[in-house]
């Protein structure tokens, strides 16, 4: 029974369809094989000899071994650790070393994968939906005026809706992030939702400085933020469900030190830490709060209902509407 369920849905439909960050590029070396568990399901991620990252359902169609535990890469294929069946990047079995023919249904599902900007992203779509948007390349990463990508991740007990809702939640900026807002809007544009804010924060010396932030979700789970604070920064914020009420938050940051400038490591680390901590400041709230389907809202709360509607569009196959700004 469980087996047939696994075959009919590529991930439970209770999760939003879209591109998700499944691994940092730097965490998957040539020839490396990794078991992953997301959406309450098991996957195997590996990097073949040509450098391509492949994401497959984890369990071998033969007797069900997990390809991520003991599986090994040969060329661009993965070899099952149990009886050495071989699977290519399309998920098809290409060799059964001791049999005269390969059963025609010998395959595991292969996911669409793209790799750029230090990220391996994969598309998860319920009911066979196809990608209808892209996650853009972060051009700054190729510019040597910017520092290399610094990364962090944290597992937390919450659901994606709580994380998403942050972009609409105007009133939490001061109590949670100690930032006074002068201007704030959310722009909904098909699969993207952008929060623009202009506020007053503090630098690491405690002096008041302006904070300008443009934070865009490209789909339901990957957000890039361009931040002008003590430095110009680009932040990657992403989440991926591990199972119900448990997700992995990933955070990446680069900052513009300037061409030929090497920042003292402690200065870089302090600013990276401040940006990271800013993103993680919401965690204690998320882990202990209760989701309200019908929250009691006021006119100063920001466009929470609009952003909920936007997120719901990833549970159907169509995106609502022309671009609009909501406050």
**In this chain, which of 16, 21, 28, 60 binds ligand FES, going by CB under 6 A?**
60
* Contact flag: residue 246 with ligand FES (CB under 6 A): no
* Contact flag: residue 69 with ligand FES (CB under 6 A): no
Minimum Å distance from CB 75 to ligand FES?
17
> Facing residues of 233 across strands?
227, 255
Partner whose binding site includes residue 63, from Fe ion, ligand FES, none (CB under 5 to 8 Å by kind):
ligand FES
Cα separation of 111 and 21, whole Å?
13
DSSP letters for 70-107:
T-EEETTEEE-TTT--EE-TTSBEEE-TT-SS--TT-B
CB 44 within 8 A of CB 72: no
> Facing residues of 150 across strands?
253
* Contact flag: residue 166 with Fe ion (CB under 5 A): yes
Which tokens hold the place of 119?
């990220």
The DSSP 8-state label assigned to residue 283 in this structure reads H
* Contact flag: residue 237 with Fe ion (CB under 5 A): no
Edge-first strand listing for the sheet containing 41-47: 33-38, 41-47, 53-57
* Contact flag: residue 77 with Fe ion (CB under 5 A): no
Q: Cα 246 to the chain's mean position, in Å? A: 14
* Contact flag: residue 80 with ligand FES (CB under 6 A): yes
Length of the chain: 327
Which tokens hold the place of 142?
């190729």
Of 65 and 176, which CB lies nearer to ligand FES in the complex structure? 65
* Contact flag: residue 117 with Fe ion (CB under 5 A): no
Of 108 and 120, which CB lies nearer to ligand FES in the complex structure? 108
Minimum Å distance from CB 58 to ligand FES?
11
**In this chain, which of 19, 39, 85, 311 binds ligand FES, going by CB under 6 A?**
85
Which one of 60-68, 162-170, 186-194, 283-291 is the stretch in contact with Fe ion (CB under 5 A)? 162-170
The torsion angles phi and psi of 176, rounded to 5 degrees, stand at -90, -40
Which one of 75-83, 171-179, 194-202, 281-289 is the stretch in contact with ligand FES (CB under 6 A)? 75-83
Question: Footprint of ligand FES on this chain (CB under 6 A)?
Answer: 60, 62-65, 80, 82-83, 85
């Amino acid at each position: 029974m469980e087996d047939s369920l696994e075959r009919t849905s590529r991930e439970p439909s209770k999760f939003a369809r879209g591109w998700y960050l499944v691994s940092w590029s730097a965490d998957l070396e040539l020839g490396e094989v990794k078991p992953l568990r997301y959406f309450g399901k098991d996957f195997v991620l590996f990097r073949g000899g040509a450098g391509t990252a492949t994401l497959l359902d984890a369990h071998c169609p033969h007797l069900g071994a997990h390809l991520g535990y003991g599986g090994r890469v040969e060329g661009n294929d993965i070899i099952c650790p149990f009886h050495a069946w071989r699977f290519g990047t399309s998920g098809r079995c290409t060799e059964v070393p001791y049999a005269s023919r390969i059963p025609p249904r010998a395959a595991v599902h292969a996911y669409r994968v793209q790799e750029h900007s230090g990220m391996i992203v994969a598309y998860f779509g319920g009911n066979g939906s196809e990608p209808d948007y892209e996650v853009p390349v972060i051009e700054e990463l190729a510019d040597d005026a910017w520092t290399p990508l610094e990364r962090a991740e944290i597992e937390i007990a919450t659901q994606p809706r709580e994380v998403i809702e942050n972009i609409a939640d105007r009133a939490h900026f001061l109590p949670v992030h100690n930032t006074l807002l002068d201007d704030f809007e959310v722009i909904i544009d098909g699969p993207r939702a952008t929060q623009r804010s202009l506020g007053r924060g503090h630098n690491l010396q405690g002096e008041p400085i302006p904070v300008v932030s443009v934070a865009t979700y490209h789909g339901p789970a990957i957000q890039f933020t361009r931040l002008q604070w003590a430095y110009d920064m680009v932040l990657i914020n992403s989440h991926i469900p591990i199972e119900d009420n448990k997700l992995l938050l990933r955070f990446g940051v680069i900052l513009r030190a300037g061409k030929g400038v090497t920042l003292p490591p402690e200065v870089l680390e302090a600013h990276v830490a401040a940006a990271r901590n800013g993103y993680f400041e919401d965690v204690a709230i998320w882990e202990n709060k209760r989701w309200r389907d019908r929250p009691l809202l006021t006119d100063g709360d920001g466009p929470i209902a609009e952003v909920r509607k936007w997120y719901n569009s990833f549970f159907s196959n169509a995106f609502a509407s022309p671009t609009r700004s909501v406050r």
